[in-house]
Amino acid sequence: MGFQGLLLFVPVLLFSVIAHEYAHGYAALKQGDTTALAAGRLTWNPIKHIDPWMTVLLPVMLYYLSHGAVVLGGAKPVPVNPRNYRHYRTGDIIVSLAGVVTNLLIALVCTALIALLGVAGRSDALAPTAGVLQAMMFTGVRINMLLLAFNLLPIPPLDGSQVVKHFLPRGLAVRYQQVGLYGIAILVMVLYFAPRLLDMWLHPANVVSTALIGAVSPLLPTATRWLQ
């Protein structure tokens, strides 16, 4: 990924991970928990959401270990207190899935915008601007589908594990959650020793994003120069 690619990638990734965390906090608020609001995390200010590991080091590590094939990251996790939810189990599942649902919605919106910008790009005056924005939307589809799949990994404390625990016997669920103390270390080991496992897990997301982009591909020529 060259400098031009980074100019397209970084803003889209930053927006996507912030939207993901904002969705968790907003969903928690709707379920009766004001923790994220009180902590000042229901904001679009990126400074409030940047995490040294998830936002900086993890993307760099993924880029290095995957030889540029996968670059993902995250924002600082939004604090929530499930004890405040009106209905603990239902509320926890809703809040846990709010981030990935948001990523799916962003991917769908980006797909629609690719089409709209492709139509706008038929005008010579709008073609350059439409091309840049269209390339960013293309990146948005890819990134958000990958974020969706990555966060559904059943490795505590990722979102997928927060759903899985509710379908386990209580004792096993407690031990499963305790794995979260080593979750990041487990993730790093998977990335280093078994990257193919991660590739297999992310493959369906890549298939879906390819299908979405394929549906609007006739309108993509405007962005061709920026996607090379």
Active-site amino acid positions? 21
Both structure tokens of 6: 């980074």
Tell me which DSSP letter residue 75 carries: P
Distance CA 228, CA 221 (A): 11
User: In the chain, what is the greatest distance between 2 CA atoms, to the nearest angstrom?
Assistant: 64
Distance CA(196)–CA(199), nearest Å, equals: 5
Number of other CB atoms surrounding residue 92 within 10 Å: 20
Two structure tokens written together for 91:
């509320």
Of the candidates 212, 202, 215, the one whose C-alpha atom is nearest the C-alpha of residue 70 is 202
CA 5 to chain centre: 18
Question: SS3 for 1?
Answer: coil
| Residue 167 backbone phi and psi in degrees, to 5 | -110, 15
> What's the distance, Cα to Cα, between the start and end of the chain in Å?
10
Write down the residue that tokens 């897990």 correspond to. Answer: 201
